């Protein structure tokens, strides 16, 4: 799989440089892996592809974001004073 993917990326870079070779190879390898039952034959895969589209939502404000917001506010306040 890896050798074939590398060869396709190199050929696409040479003959069709405007297409995103890595994206095409990842999509193709995913389809080939699924169609041939690569995992059931003992092949190693990264993980399962979730069904459907991800939900659209606002990210939650975590403690890290609050800390970054406070710190960046202090930095901008100090910077504008000088």
pLDDT in tens, the chain (82 residues): 889 999 999 999 999 999 999 999 999 998 998 899 888 888 887 777 778 887 777 667 677 777 777 777 777 766 555 5
pTM of the model: 0.53
Assigned token pair, 74: 């202090």
Residue 30 falls inside a structural domain: yes
Residue 10 falls inside a structural domain: yes
Residue 68 falls inside a structural domain: no
Domain carrying residue 25? 1-35
Residue 82 is predicted with a pLDDT of 54
Q: Into how many domains does the chain fold?
A: 1
Enter the DSSP assignment of 48.
P
Separation CA 36–CA 2 (nearest Å):
15
């Amino acid at each position: 799989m890896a050798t074939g993917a590398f060869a396709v990326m190199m050929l696409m870079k040479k003959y069709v440089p405007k297409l995103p070779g890595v994206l095409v190879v990842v999509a193709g390898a995913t389809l080939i892996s699924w169609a041939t039952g690569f995992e059931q034959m003992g092949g190693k895969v990264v993980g399962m592809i979730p069904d459907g589209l991800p939900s659209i939502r606002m990210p939650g404000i975590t403690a890290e974001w609050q800390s970054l917001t406070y710190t960046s506010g202090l930095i901008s306040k100090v910077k504008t004073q000088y």
